[in-house]
Chain A
Amino acid sequence: MTDVTMTVNGQMRSASVPPETTLLQLLRDQFHLTGAKLGCDVGDCGACTVIVDGQAVNSCLMLAGQADGREIVTIEGLASRDRLHAIQQCFENSGALQCGFCGPGVLMSAKALLDDNLNPTRQEIRDALSGNLCRCTGYTKMIEAVEDAARMLRDGTPAKLTQARTEVPVP
């Protein structure tokens, strides 16, 4: 068994797991953080993306032991007690998540990008999300949502779509 201790969403967590346990299994089965999903188990789909020391990582490809002593942020750590993160707010406003299974991974990839760069170009957003597959094929809205979130975090303007939500007369 391997003993691991790490910071998960700001809290110190430790566990004793078999050495072959992946970070994803540790988060899901030991820490009950089921936000990160198992999609392919080989690092293709990005549904398991979490942030490790500021980097977006496929947690199915990282052993729990490798994450020992590091700082992990999962989708559960994105919102505060009573407030959505700007990325979550913008994804909701844009309707960017359909079945939602890829969502936690996409949001974490977006967060890793925006933590680094609050002025991403469209291409940089595409590159940041390139490791996340969505089979409902809603990439356009996701990219728009990340742009909105960047704008919101940058200069505090409300999300574009909230502004556009005006009364439409019913004929």
Chain B
Amino acid sequence: MNEHSRILEREKIEIETLRDAELRLPAVAPREPFPIEPVTPDARQQTRAVGQRATRPDGRLHGLGQTKYIDDLSFPGMLYARIKRAGIASARIKRIDTSAAEAMPGVMAVLTGKEIPVNSFGPSFQDQPVLVDEFVFHAGDGVAAVAAVTEQIANEALDKIIIEYEPLPAVLDPVAAMRDDSPKVHAPNSNIYATKVIRKGDVEKGFAESDHIFEGRYSTQMIEHVSLEPHAAVADWDANGRLTIYATIGRITLARSDMARTLKMPMSRIRIVGTIVGGNFGGKNEITQEPALALLSKKTGRPVKGVFTRGEEFTSTTTRHPIIMDYKTGVSKTGRIIARQIRLVLDGGAYCSWSETTLGKACILSPGPYKIDNVLAEAFVVYTNKTMTGAMRGFGAPQVCFAYESQMDEIAAKLGMDPLEIRLLNAFDEGSPSPTGQVLHSVVVKESLRKAADRFGWEPRP
């Protein structure tokens, strides 16, 4: 605490002196490392953090612009990689001609999917190729990668890569994709690649006992994380056959095993350096271009950097699942929910990524925080020829919340009830069982609703 008081004291003095100081531009070399004082916030020194002010330990470097994100790193002899995107939703690749690109001055290497030792990865199912080799599954798929001495040359080289496609029928609507006669994204497998069912009580009996039945379809759109820093990585395959990757990956141990699998090399030869990430939000949880960069580095013997463009962020990285949500709810005259039947269709895009996790959480949370005796929730996640969907804040929870709360408002309006009242009537209590039978503790939903309503002056509208 003494050390800490001293820091506080010094800061106070610094600010006092700053009052008179002339804030002029430094006449010193800008790369001079700024002296970094250790900033130890109160919250990190004491056991109780609530009520304490905490500043970020990396806040000062951020403010100085000295935090090194991947794109701020450079290594001697470093090359720049760019990836050629398919631009077609579903196709068979008939021919790839990279000779013109390879002949360009400044282009050091070109890589195609066939050169990748094990061309598939993924956190639950290994269904995603690093670069597609035979079939294109969505328009953002990488087909070839180029490493060149400048980014400009790499971009120009992409235009010289000739690819002939045989277009195949694409399936873009997740509900249509569930039908047996729809084109299969990953033939011969079914487009439905994971399901979850939650059953509690008897919904048919519940609906029979209900006074009113409400049915509605709700849907949400695809959302990209748009973290301000694009996906970026630098790969360095050294002469001893050891690989170092600097990457914007949140889960470096998972990335390490994925890299070992795709490159068919022991994990002990791979080192992944997770640096400061400029926003993740679930979008940087798995590898993307890293195996391709590693192989380009192996081919050229030089470090290779790859940074996605903003466009690639939208087409070629994971997004939030669009969900089509069908809700059927039976309520009594008094507004008590008796039964709820739910069907969720998650549009998984071309690859699984974190869809299984999202499916489970969306399904478990789909009945809402309400005491309902009879529940049937069925959830399906299906392949379509679109950008893959994966983890994003909440893993499916925000989508289903939109659906059940929209329906609660509709029920309240139809029954002429106050929207707050109907929620208070049905909401979980301390010890209520969740739809999956978990007994819930520290349940404060009613208190929270009452307090919030009180704070912003909620009154039933006429």
Contacts and interface: CB of A to CB of B under 8 A. Distances in A.
Interface of A: 8-11, 18, 20, 28, 31-42, 45, 47, 73-89, 91-93, 95, 97-104, 107, 133-136, 152-153, 156, 158-159, 161-162, 164-165, 168, 170-171
B65 A75 contact: yes
B307 to A, nearest CB: 7
Contact of B20 (A81, A156, A168): A156
B31 A32 contact: yes
Given A81-B32, A101-B69, A135 B281 contact: yes
Contact of B59 (A47, A74, A78, A92): A92
Nearest to B55: A95
Contact of B23 (A9, A47, A99, A153): A153
A165 B53 contact: yes
Nearest to B226: A135
Contact of B55 (A41, A92, A156): A92
A86 B18 contact: yes
Interface residues of B, number: 63
A169 to B, nearest CB: 9
Interface in B42-60: 42, 46-48, 51-56, 58-60
Given A37-B229, A95-B54, A152-B15, A136 B25 contact: no
Contact of B64 (A88, A93, A161, A168): A88
A9 B26 contact: yes
A104 B65 contact: yes
B2 to A, nearest CB: 13
Contact of B69 (A18, A37, A75): A37
Given A42-B310, A168-B42, 20 more contacts: A10-B27, A11-B27, A37-B229, A78-B65, A80-B25, A80-B26, A81-B32, A82-B35, A84-B60, A86-B23, A97-B63, A98-B56, A99-B227, A100-B63, A101-B229, A101-B278, A135-B225, A135-B279, A153-B23, A161-B53
Contact of B15 (A18, A31, A162): A162
B8 to A, nearest CB: 7
Nearest to B310: A40
B interface secondary structure, majority:
loop
Nearest to B32: A81
Contacts of B64: 35, 75-76, 78-79, 84, 88
A9 B15 CA distance: 23
Given A18-B152, A81-B26, A135-B225, A103 B62 contact: yes
A102 B276 CA distance: 13
A79 B8 contact: no
A41 B310 contact: yes
A42 to B, nearest CB: 7
B205 interface: no
B24 interface: yes
A115 to B, nearest CB: 10
Contacts of B456: none
A84 B12 contact: no
A144 to B, nearest CB: 13
A61 B24 CA distance: 27
